[in-house]
Amino acid sequence: MIDKEWMKMMHRNLYKILSWLMVILWMGLIFYLSHQPATESDQLSGGVVDLVIQTFERVLPLIHLDWSGFHHIVRKSAHLIAYLILGILVLHALRQVKLLSWHSVIGALIICVCYAISDEIHQLFIPGRSGEVKDVLIDSVGAIIGVGLYEGLRILIHKIRLR
């Protein structure tokens, strides 16, 4: 018969591994998207922009908007959202190794900012792409928001459980 404590330990270890696997997979997705030459990257984001515009025009046909800067907004929003998710995933994985609350927050932010910097350096070697300091800042803001959301929800859930 399998011991209950052994099963709990195995479950916790598997959960830790899965948490870090999610971080690695998400970083891999960011790397993959960053590794696309500029023409492919523009086609991908252009397709997203076209889909949003077509959807908006179908839902609200009487409203006419100037979409000229929308492509740029979509590209920068993608940076923010990708690193918001990365911040959540990294903080969650660090929490699984039982770091103190503020250690895991600082650690998550350091990991995310270092990855953002390495991502922009990586893009220097991709045809038509460039490394941008402003993208590192946008990525960092996304990570800060993700970590903040995770912490806020954790605190809220903790307070609800105490009631």
pLDDT of res. 119: 96
pLDDT band with cut points at 50, 70 and 90 for residue 1: low
* Cβ 49 vs Cβ 76: under 8 Å: no
Supply the mean pLDDT for the chain: 88
Return the percentage of the chain with pLDDT > 90, whole number.
54
More confidently predicted of 37 and 43: 37
CA torsion angle 48 133 80 27 (round to 10): 90
Mean pLDDT of 140-154: 96
Spatial neighbors of 128 by CB under 8 A, at least 6 apart, are 37, 38, 39
Mean pLDDT of 29-39: 88
pTM equals 0.85
pLDDT of res. 6: 81
pLDDT band with cut points at 50, 70 and 90 for residue 24: very high
